C-alpha cells in the first residue's frame, strides 16, 4: 500500500516510494542506488547538461535522471547494457577534448571525468580532438584556469551565482565555440571575481584549480597560522570557500608586536602585506633627505671631485624645491619636511611589496602593542576583491589620505576644504591589472588621474617606434591636457603592475580649474611644457636617421660620452681618471653600444625606456619633461634602480650618517646609508675628467643628434 502523498516506482527492480516532484536521480540516491554524473551537485539547481546520468525509463530515448521527475509506476533501469554503452560513449567524447592528466588529476588524482572514464574502461578516444583551444589563464593570483580542461558542466557558474551571488561567470559563444567566461570574457584576474574559490571547489576537472604560488606559507616564528575555521569567523573571509581557505591556511598569520618592535625595514625585499587589527604603528624613512652632489676639490692634473650629501634647495630647479609628499606603500604618504606618519586599525601597508615584490618603502615600528595580519599575495588578492573589505579600504582612503594626496601636489595646495570634501565623494577609485591600457594616444579625454598605487607607463608613438616618457608612481598625476582644451590623449597610459588610480571626472576637473586660478595656471604651465617637449621630439624624429638611432637606442640622449675606437688605445686613462675624481669608485665602464667606429660609454643616456624608474618604492627616480633623469633626495638606497639599469650607469654611493638605533629607541648611532648616483658627466667642470685625461683625443662628450646627424649628412639646424 503506497502511503498517501507518495509516488511508487521501481528502480533496477527495487520498489521505492518518494514524494512527488522528486527527480529520478534523487530517488535513486535516497535508496542507495548510485548514478554517475558530472554536472550535478546537490547544493545546485540541476541542469542536465553532461547527460552522464542517463537512465532508461521506458521512453523512446534515454533521459537525464537529474532533471527527470518520477512518475507513478515508472520502471527505471540505471545500469543496463544500453545505458552503460551510452555513458561510455559520452565519456569518450568528453575525454577526446580533455588534456589527460589535467592539473587536478596530476595533483590529487580526483578529476571526476578521468576517474569515471577509467572505471568505464575508456582508453584512447576514437574521436578526433577539436582544433579549438583557449589555453590557460594565469591572470588570477589564486586560481589557475585551463579552458581546455573545461567540459561545460556549468557547476562553476551555478556555484558563483546561486551559492555566492557574485554573478561573475557565464557561458559565451555557441555550439563548437561555446565556453566559460568571466564577466564580458575578461581574464579572470581582471574580472570582478573576488577569488572566493567556490568555482574551483565546484569544478569536477582541472579547469579551475588552486594556484600553487611560490612560498604559500609564511615563516611562523612564535605565531601560529590561522585555521580555515578561524579565518571563516573573520568578516572579510565570511564568504570564502572553506576548502580554498584550508588550501591557503599557511598564507596568513596573526602577528603580535610589542611596543618598539620593528615590523618591516625600508629597503628590504618582501613578499607579504600587513593589515593592522589593533594598536598603532609609526611609519618613517630613516635615510637622510639629501642627494649626492659632486663638486671640485683638490687640484691636480685635473680637478679632484668630492661627493657629499646636500639638501634639495642646493641643487634643484626652483620649481622642484617646493614641498612634496614622499609616496610610500601604505594608506598614508609622508611629508617631505617630516617623513613620519601613524598607522592605526584598518590600515593596510606593504601591498605593492606583496603583489609586485618591490623593496619596502619605509620602516614601520609598533608605537603600541600591535596585532596585525601578515598575508601572502594570494590572500591579499582575495581581500582586495572582497566587496566589503574593498569598500572599507576605499572609505579609509577617501577619509584619511585623499586630501593629503591632493595637497601633496604643490599646485593643488590652494584647494578649499569644501571642494576637497566634494571630491572625496565624487572621485572614482579604479584598479587596473598589469599590462592593462588606461588611455590610448589619440582617444577622447575627459578625466584627470592621480596615481594612488603602482606604476603607470606613459608612452608616445612615433614613426620610428615607441618612446617611454615616464613611469609615474604614487603621488604623480596625468591626463590634464585633454580636459584643459586639447580634447585628446597625447600619450598612451598603461598599468605596469597592479595599479590603483583616483579618477576625477571631467566636470569636476573643469570646475576645479575655474574656481582656483592658481591650479589652472600650474596645470596649464605643465601642459604647455609637455606639449613643447612633444613637438621638439617630433621635430627631432623628422631629421634624425631613425632606423639607425632606434636600433642603437641613442635617439633621446641629451649628452653622450663617446670613444673614437680608431684613436683609443685601451689605456684605461679615462676609467682611472673617473675613479680618481670620484673617491676611488669609477662611474665609467669602457664598454657599451657601438655606432660605426664610435663606442657609446656607460654614462646615463636618458634611455627611450628608462627601466631604472620601474619599481622605485618611494618614487625617488623620475624624468623631467626634458627627458633628463634625476634622483630625488629621499632615495632610500634600496638599489633597485641600479639593478634595473641594463647599462650599469647607476651606482650606490655609501655615506656614514647618524640614524636612529632600532635596537635602542631614542638613541642615535653611526650607520652607513646608500644613495643612488649616476654619471653626471662632471657637469661642474668644463669637460668630464675622463675626456680631459684622454691622451689620444679619443673621448668626447657630444650632442648625439648633432654629432651623428652631421656624420650622416643630416640637416640638424632645424
Tell which wins on pLDDT, 580 or 32.
32
Tell which wins on pLDDT, 97 or 671.
97
Backbone angles phi, psi at 637, to 5 degrees: 70, 30
Query: CA 138 to CA 144: how far, in whole Å?
Result: 6
Percent of the chain with pLDDT over 90: 20
Kindly calculate the radius of gyration of the chain based on its CA atoms and give it in whole angstroms: 32
The pLDDT of residue 53 is 93
Tell which wins on pLDDT, 527 or 365.
365
> Which residues, in sequence order, are CB contacts of 395 under 8 Å at separation 6+?
none
The pLDDT of residue 55 is 95
**What average pLDDT score do residues 326-345 get?**
84
**What average pLDDT score do residues 523-528 get?**
80
Confidence of residue 602 (pLDDT cuts 50, 70, 90): low
Confidence of residue 537 (pLDDT cuts 50, 70, 90): low
> For 2-16, 138-152, 335-349, 376-390, which range has the lowest pLDDT when averaged over its residues?
376-390
> For 22-36, 269-283, 382-396, 477-491, which range has the lowest pLDDT when averaged over its residues?
382-396
Tell which wins on pLDDT, 543 or 277.
277
- Asked if 114 contacts 94 with a C-beta cutoff of 8 angstroms, the reply is no
The pLDDT of residue 114 is 92
Domain ranges in the chain?
7-119, 553-711
- Asked if 440 contacts 459 with a C-beta cutoff of 8 angstroms, the reply is no
- Quick check: 268 pLDDT over 90? no
Backbone angles phi, psi at 342, to 5 degrees: -115, 140
- Quick check: 341 pLDDT over 70? yes
**What average pLDDT score do residues 189-210 get?**
86
- Quick check: 623 pLDDT over 60? yes
- Asked if 82 contacts 57 with a C-beta cutoff of 8 angstroms, the reply is no
Per-residue model confidence as pLDDT tens digits over 153-197: 999 999 888 888 888 999 998 887 889 999 989 999 888 887 778
**What sign for the dihedral angle of Cα 73, 77, 82, 83?**
positive
Backbone angles phi, psi at 692, to 5 degrees: -60, -35
The pLDDT of residue 549 is 47
- Quick check: 298 pLDDT over 60? no
Query: CA 453 to CA 62: how far, in whole Å?
Result: 58
Confidence of residue 307 (pLDDT cuts 50, 70, 90): low
**What average pLDDT score do residues 488-498 get?**
86
The pLDDT of residue 561 is 76
Q: Which CATH class is domain 7-119?
A: alpha beta
- Quick check: 68 pLDDT over 90? yes
DSSP letter string, 475-526: T-EE--TIIIII-B-SSEEEESSSEEEEEEEHHHHHHHHHH-HHHHHHHHHH
> For 280-294, 443-457, 533-547, which range has the lowest pLDDT when averaged over its residues?
533-547
Q: Look at residues 215, 212, 218, 244 and name the one whose alpha carbon lies nearest to residue 231.
A: 244
> For 203-207, 303-307, 462-466, 661-665, which range has the lowest pLDDT when averaged over its residues?
303-307
Confidence of residue 38 (pLDDT cuts 50, 70, 90): very high
163-167, long-range: CB < 8 A, 24+ apart: 163/43, 163/44, 163/198, 164/196, 164/198, 164/239, 166/192, 166/193, 166/194, 166/196, 166/198
Confidence of residue 517 (pLDDT cuts 50, 70, 90): confident
For residue 599, the cross-strand partners are 563, 594
Query: CA 409 to CA 422: how far, in whole Å?
Result: 18
Tell which wins on pLDDT, 93 or 690.
93
The pLDDT of residue 718 is 44
H or E segment and range at residue 26:
helix 24-30
**What average pLDDT score do residues 524-550 get?**
62
| pTM, rounded to two decimals | 0.64
The pLDDT of residue 465 is 63
The pLDDT of residue 113 is 93
Strands 560-564 and 492-495: unpaired
- Quick check: 99 pLDDT over 50? yes
Confidence of residue 597 (pLDDT cuts 50, 70, 90): confident
Distance separating the N- and C-terminal Cα atoms of the chain: 105
Backbone angles phi, psi at 110, to 5 degrees: -125, 35
The pLDDT of residue 28 is 92
Confidence of residue 409 (pLDDT cuts 50, 70, 90): confident
C-alpha cell at 333: 604618504
**What average pLDDT score do residues 579-594 get?**
65
Backbone angles phi, psi at 507, to 5 degrees: -65, -45
**What average pLDDT score do residues 104-125 get?**
88
Confidence of residue 27 (pLDDT cuts 50, 70, 90): very high
The pLDDT of residue 300 is 45
CA distances (Å), origin 544, targets 45, 226, 442, 625: 67, 62, 24, 20
Backbone angles phi, psi at 244, to 5 degrees: -65, -45
The pLDDT of residue 606 is 62
The pLDDT of residue 587 is 65
CA distances (Å), origin 210, targets 91, 108, 133, 191, 203: 25, 11, 21, 17, 11
DSSP state at residue 3: P
Rounded to 5°, the CA angle 243-247-248 comes to 120
- Asked if 116 contacts 140 with a C-beta cutoff of 8 angstroms, the reply is no
Q: Provide the mean pLDDT of the chain.
A: 79
**What average pLDDT score do residues 138-146 get?**
86
DSSP state at residue 395: H
Tell which wins on pLDDT, 80 or 486.
80
Burial of 671 (0-12, 13-18, 19+ CB in 10 A): middle
Amino acid at each position: 500500500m503506497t502511503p498517501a502523498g507518495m509516488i511508487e516506482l521501481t528502480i533496477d527492480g527495487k520498489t521505492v516510494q518518494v514524494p512527488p516532484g522528486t527527480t529520478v536521480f534523487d530517488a535513486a540516491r535516497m535508496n542507495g542506488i548510485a548514478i554517475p554524473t558530472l554536472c550535478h551537485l546537490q547544493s545546485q539547481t540541476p541542469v542536465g547538461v553532461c547527460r552522464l546520468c542517463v537512465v532508461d525509463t521506458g521512453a523512446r530515448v534515454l533521459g537525464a535522471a537529474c532533471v527527470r521527475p518520477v512518475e507513478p509506476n515508472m520502471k527505471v533501469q540505471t545500469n543496463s547494457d544500453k545505458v552503460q554503452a551510452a555513458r561510455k560513449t559520452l565519456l569518450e567524447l568528453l575525454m577526446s577534448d580533455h588534456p589527460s592528466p589535467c592539473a587536478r588529476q596530476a595533483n590529487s588524482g580526483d578529476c571526476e571525468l578521468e576517474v569515471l572514464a577509467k572505471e568505464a574502461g575508456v582508453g584512447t578516444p576514437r574521436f578526433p580532438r577539436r582544433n579549438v583551444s583557449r589555453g590557460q589563464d594565469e591572470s588570477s593570483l589564486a586560481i589557475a584556469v585551463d579552458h581546455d580542461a573545461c567540459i561545460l558542466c556549468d557547476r562553476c557558474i551555478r556555484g558563483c551565482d546561486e551559492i555566492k551571488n557574485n554573478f561573475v561567470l557565464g557561458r559565451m559563444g555557441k555550439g563548437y565555440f561555446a565556453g566559460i567566461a568571466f564577466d564580458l570574457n575578461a581574464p579572470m584576474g581582471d574580472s570582478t571575481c573576488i577569488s572566493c574559490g567556490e568555482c574551483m571547489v565546484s569544478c569536477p576537472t582541472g579547469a579551475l584549480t588552486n594556484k600553487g604560488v611560490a612560498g604559500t606559507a609564511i615563516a611562523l616564528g612564535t605565531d601560529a597560522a590561522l585555521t580555515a575555521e578561524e579565518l571563516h569567523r573573520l568578516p572579510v573571509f565570511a564568504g570564502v570557500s572553506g576548502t580554498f581557505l584550508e588550501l591557503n591556511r599557511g598564507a596568513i598569520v596573526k602577528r603580535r608586536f610589542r611596543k618598539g618592535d620593528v615590523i618591516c625595514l625600508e629597503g628590504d625585499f618582501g613578499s607579504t602585506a600587513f593589515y593592522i587589527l589593533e594598536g598603532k604603528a609609526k611609519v618613517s624613512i630613516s635615510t637622510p633627505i639629501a642627494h649626492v652632489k659632486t663638486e671640485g676639490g683638490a687640484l691636480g692634473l685635473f680637478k679632484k671631485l668630492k661627493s657629499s650629501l646636500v639638501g634639495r634647495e642646493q641643487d634643484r630647479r626652483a620649481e622642484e624645491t617646493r614641498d612634496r609628499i614622499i609616496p610610500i606603500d601604505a594608506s598614508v604618504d609622508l611629508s617631505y619636511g617630516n617623513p613620519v606618519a601613524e598607522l592605526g586599525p584598518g590600515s593596510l601597508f606593504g601591498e605593492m611589496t606583496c603583489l609586485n615584490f618591490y623593496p619596502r618603502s619605509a620602516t614601520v615600528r609598533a608605537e603600541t602593542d600591535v596585532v596585525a595580519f601578515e598575508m601572502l599575495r594570494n590572500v591579499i588578492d582575495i581581500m582586495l576583491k572582497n566587496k566589503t573589505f574593498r569598500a572599507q579600504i576605499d572609505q579609509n582612503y577617501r577619509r584619511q589620505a585623499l586630501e593629503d594626496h591632493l595637497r601633496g601636489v604643490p599646485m593643488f595646495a590652494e584647494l578649499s576644504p569644501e571642494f576637497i570634501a566634494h571630491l572625496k565623494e565624487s572621485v572614482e577609485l579604479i584598479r587596473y591589472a598589469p599590462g592593462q591600457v588606461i588611455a590610448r594616444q589619440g582617444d577622447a579625454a575627459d578625466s584627470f588621474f592621480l596615481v594612488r598605487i603602482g606604476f603607470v607607463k606613459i608612452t608616445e608613438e612615433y614613426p620610428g617606434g615607441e618612446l617611454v616618457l615616464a613611469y609615474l608612481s604614487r603621488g604623480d598625476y596625468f591626463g590634464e591636457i585633454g580636459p584643459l582644451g586639447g580634447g585628446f590623449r597625447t600619450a598612451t597610459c598603461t598599468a605596469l603592475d597592479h595599479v590603483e588610480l583616483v579618477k576625477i571626472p571631467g566636470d569636476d576637473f573643469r570646475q576645479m580649474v575655474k574656481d582656483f586660478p592658481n591650479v589652472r595656471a600650474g596645470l596649464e604651465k605643465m601642459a604647455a611644457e609637455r606639449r613643447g617637449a612633444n613637438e621638439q621630439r617630433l621635430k627631432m624624429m623628422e631629421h634624425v636617421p631613425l632606423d639607425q638611432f632606434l636600433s642603437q637606442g641613442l635617439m633621446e640622449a641629451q649628452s653622450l660620452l663617446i670613444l673614437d675606437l680608431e684613436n683609443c688605445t685601451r689605456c684605461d686613462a679615462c676609467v682611472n681618471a673617473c675613479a680618481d675624481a670620484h673617491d676611488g669608485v669609477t662611474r665609467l665602464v669602457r664598454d657599451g653600444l657601438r655606432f660605426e667606429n664610435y663606442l657609446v660609454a656607460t654614462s646615463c643616456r636618458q634611455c627611450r625606456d628608462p627601466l631604472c624608474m620601474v619599481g622605485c618604492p618611494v618614487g625617488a627616480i623620475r624624468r623631467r619633461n626634458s627627458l633628463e633623469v634625476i634622483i630625488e633626495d629621499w632615495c632610500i638606497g634600496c638599489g633597485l634602480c641600479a639593478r634595473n639599469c641594463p647599462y650599469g650607469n647607476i651606482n650606490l654611493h655609501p655615506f656614514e650618517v647618524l640614524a636612529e638605533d632600532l635596537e635602542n629607541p631614542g638613541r642615535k648611532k653611526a650607520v652607513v646609508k646608500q644613495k643612488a648616483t649616476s654619471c653626471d658627466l662632471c657637469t661642474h667642470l668644463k669637460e668630464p675628467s675622463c675626456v680631459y685625461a684622454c691622451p689620444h683625443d679619443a673621448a668626447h662628450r657630444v650632442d648625439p643628434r648633432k654629432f651623428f646627424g652631421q656624420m650622416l649628412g643630416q640637416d640638424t639646424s632645424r
